[in-house]
Amino acid sequence: MNAPAKTDEFASAVPAGVFAEKVLSVTHYTDRLFRFTMTRPQGFRFRSGEFAMIGLMVDGKPLYRAYSIASPAWADELEFFSIKVPDGPLTSHLQNIKPGDEVLMRKKPTGTLVLDALTPGRRLYMFSTGTGIAPFASLIRDPETYEKFEEVILTHTTRDVAELKYGFDLVEEIRNDELLSEVVGDKLRHYATVTREDFPFKGRITDLIENGKLFSDLGVPALDITIDRGMICGSSAMLKDTKDLLEKAGLTEGANSKPAEFVIERAFVG
């Protein structure tokens, strides 16, 4: 049985202790990126920024990958933002889901990109590349983020301009939401860059941190351990390079068990 499966045969094959949830909407942004929403299981709780193991039945067996939950902890639906890998074991199937199909989800969310893993500060940087923006899609829509920080700077770097659209859509959704827009106010700043096309802001985020252009473009001081906090999600190379730059500025990596000045999500898919 290949994924995605229809409800009757799918339900009979769902492993014990796993949620089977219905796809509600699918939006394809490019030939590499798509967003989907699905029902939220009753009683399922998570902290904004965490990830879940999402899966499908592929050839009669459940196949899972880690996906950051892009919706905030208060939302009635679960949202995910995914790459499309033509020969990917899971994404080659997942990219074909349609409303009404069902998706597997393990019951325990986890992750390090949570507010609890950071020590108090005034400015929060969210450094993301590609679909690494997904956990921050959750956090920028959570009122707690703005209770803890005076300024939230979301950076999003992609190869092409078209791949930035999800991030711009998120910010627009916040501005158009009566309740969220009041909570967020002018605290959220969105800094989008591309590496392969002409755009007002161009370059790898690590280069822009290192040469200071990020800070001059935003009109803020360089990283300061006393007020700045960071979260990092993206490719493995980007994680390493950004981590090095934050440590060079004096910031220390934290975790759920030991909060500090920045955190990294290493389980991210894509």
Q: How confident is the model at residue 269 (pLDDT cuts 50, 70, 90)?
A: very low
The verdict on 101 and 186 lying in the same domain is: no
Residue 268 confidence (pLDDT): 54
Q: Is residue 98 part of a domain?
A: yes
Together in a domain, 124 and 204 = yes
Same domain, 204 and 84: no
Residue 5 lies in a domain: no
Residues 162 and 258 in one domain: yes
Residue 84 and residue 199 share a domain: no
Same domain, residue pair 87 and 141: no
What CATH number corresponds to the domain at position 30? 2.40.30.10
- Cα–Cα distances in Å, from 30 out to 33, 84, 93, 137, 160? 5, 9, 16, 18, 10
Residue ranges making up the domain that contains 133: 115-266
- Can you give the pTM of this predicted structure? 0.92
- Within a domain: 126: yes
Which residues, other chains included, contact 206 with Cβ-Cβ below 8 Å and sequence gap of 6+?
238, 241, 242, 245
Rounded mean pLDDT of 241-269? Answer: 92
Cα–Cα distance between 12 and 229 in angstroms, integer?
A: 46
| C-alpha span between 224 and 262 (Å, rounded) | 12
- pLDDT value of position 266: 83
- Determine how β-strand 33-39 pairs with β-strand 151-158: unpaired
Among the three residues 64, 88, 106, which one is the final residue of a domain in this structure? 106
Contact 4, 13 (CB under 8 A): no
